[in-house]
Homo-oligomer: A and B are copies of this chain.
Amino acid sequence: MDTGDTAWIMMSTALVLLMTPGLAFFYGGLVRGKNAAATIMQAFVMLGVAGVAWVLWGYSLAFGPDLGGFIGNLEWFGLRNVGMEPGPYSDTIPHLTFMAFQMMFAVITPALILGAFAERAKFSTYLVFTVVWMTVVYAPLAHWVWGGGWIGTELGALDFAGGTVVHINAGAAALAGAIFYGKRRGVARETVPHNVTMVVLGTALLWFGWFGFNAGSALAANGGAANAFVTTNTAAAMGALTWMALSWRYTGKASIVGTATGAVAGLVAITPAAGFVGEWPATDGYLNAFPALIIGAAAGLAGFYAVRLRHKYALDDTLDVVAVHGICGIVGAMLTGVFAVSTIAGVEGLIEGSFDLLWRQLFAVLASIAWALTLTSAILWVLNKKMGLRVDENAELAGLDRSEHEEPAYQFDEPGLGSYSGGVSTVVSGPAPEVGQAPSIHADDEGISS
C-alpha cells in the first residue's frame, strides 16, 4: 500500500464522479429549455442506478474471478471480500478504491448514450434500459478489456482508460438508440441549445474530471500518470482549437458550442492512448507533445465531419453521441496503435515500425462495435415491445420536464408571470394516483393532442 497512490486514486475517483454531472450539464445545455431538467436527471440518476448496481453485481461481473475469458463470476456480489487491503488489480491501493474508481466508469458510460435519444425518451423505460445495458453490455466488455478477459490478455489490444469499453461502446449503443427511438417530432434537423453557458460548465467539469479518468487509470501517482495527464490536456486543447477552426471555416464564426465539443472529442480520442503514447520518436524523446497534438487534431476533424455527415442523413442522434464518442473513440483506439511506444506501452506501435498492434486495435474496435450494436439493438427491441421507448406526442411537445417529471427547469419570475410559472393556489396532496397511471400534466385536461 502506498498513501500517495491511494490519495491519487481516491481523488481520481471523485474527479470521475464529477464527470457525470458534467455530462448532465453538457447535454442539458444543448437541449431545448423544456427538456433541460429531464435531460440532466437522466444523467444524474445514473449515480444512483449504477452506483447501486455496481456494488451489488456489476463489479463482480466485470472484475470478479474470470469465467472463460468472457465474464467474471458472482463471488464478489455485494462487495463480498472486496476490502481495505489491496486486491488483485493493484498492490499499492485498497481493493475498495479500485472498485470505486471502476464504478465511476460504469456510472458515466450508460449516461453517455442518452444523448442519442434525448428529448423523447420515456423515463421508466430508460431506467430499465440502463440497468440491463450495464449488466449485459458494459460488464462483459469491461471484463474482456480490463478484467482479465480475452481482449486484454489474449488479443493484447490496448485501451488505457476506456476507448473501447466506454466510448466506442457508448457510441455504438447510441447508434442503435437513435435508430430505435426514431426522430423527434417537429424538429427539422437540429435545435438551438437553450443554454450555452451550461454547455461550457459541463465541458469544464468533464475536462477537470477527465484527469482522474485518464491519469487515474495509471492506478498510481507516478511518471505514467503524469504522462497521461499531459497527453490528456494536450489532446483536449488541440481538439478544441481544431473544431473551432472548422466551424469558423464554414460559418465565418467561431462556434462556442463547437469549441466545447472539440475539447470533448479530443478527450475521447486520447482516452485509450493516454498512458501509452508520448515519446516520439522513442530514441531521444524529441517532440513528446506531438502524438497527443495529432490525436487531438484528428479527433476534432473526425468529430466535426461526422456531425456534418449525420446532418445529411435522417439519423436523429440528438446530441451527436455517435460522432463524438463513437467516431472519436475509434480514431483514438486506432491512433493508439500508431503512436504507442515500447518504452511507455511495452509494445511497439506503427511509429516504431510495427503494424501488429494496429491490427489488434482494429480487431478490438470491430469486436466492441459488433457487441454493443447487436446487444443494444436487441435490448431496445424488447423494451420497445414491452414498455415503449418514447413518450407520446403530447408529452414530447410539452417537453419532458413537464410531462415526465412535472418539474419545469426554470421558474424565474414572480408567481403568475413569465413562462412556466403561476401562483401556487391549491395544494393537492392526495389521493395518490397509482404508480404507472400517471396523471395528465394539466389539472383537467385530457392532453394536448393535435
Contacts and interface: CB of A to CB of B under 8 A. Distances in A.
Interface of A: 1-8, 10-11, 13-15, 17-18, 20-21, 24-25, 28, 32-34, 36-38, 40-41, 44-45, 47-52, 55-56, 77-85, 93-94, 96-97, 99-100, 103, 123-124, 187-198, 200-201, 203-204, 207-208, 211-212, 215, 220-227, 229-230, 233-234, 236-238, 240-241, 244, 248-257, 259-260, 262-263, 278-279, 284-290, 293, 308, 311, 401, 404-415, 417-419, 421, 424-425, 427, 429, 432-439
B52 A97 contact: no
B406 A251 contact: yes
**Which among A197, A255, A407 has the highest number of chain B CB atoms within 10 Å?**
A197
Contact of A204 (B44, B55, B432): B44
Given A81-B286, A196-B410, A413-B419, 9 more contacts: A4-B6, A10-B229, A13-B211, A13-B229, A37-B200, A48-B236, A79-B230, A96-B227, A253-B407
A447 B409 CA distance: 32
Nearest to A225: B10
16 contacts: A14-B208, A17-B207, A36-B197, A40-B196, A40-B256, A44-B200, A45-B259, A48-B240, A48-B262, A81-B288, A197-B198, A251-B433, A252-B434, A252-B439, A253-B404, A254-B404
Which A-B residue pairs are the 9 nearest by beta carbons? A3-B4, A84-B223, A51-B237, A21-B204, A252-B438, A94-B226, A48-B240, A7-B8, A4-B4
A82 B288 contact: yes
Contacts of A311: 427, 429
B80 A193 contact: no
Contact of A279 (B45, B83, B259): B83
Given A21-B200, A94-B223, A237 B412 contact: no
A211 to B, nearest CB: 5
Given A1-B223, A215-B10, A236-B51, A197 B409 contact: yes
A222 B4 contact: no
Contact of A188 (B6, B262, B411, B424): B424
B252 A34 contact: no
Contacts of A8: 3, 6-7, 10-11
A201 B44 CA distance: 10
Nearest to A248: B435
Contact of A211 (B14, B37, B289): B14
B7 A407 contact: no
A192 B422 CA distance: 9
A82 B191 CA distance: 45
Nearest to A398: B414
A25 B197 contact: yes
Contact of A230 (B15, B20, B99, B407): B99
A85 B223 contact: yes
Contacts of A233: 17, 51, 100, 103
A411 B29 CA distance: 10
Contact of A432 (B37, B226, B250, B427): B250
A184 to B, nearest CB: 12
Contacts of A40: 196-197, 200, 256
B204 A285 contact: no
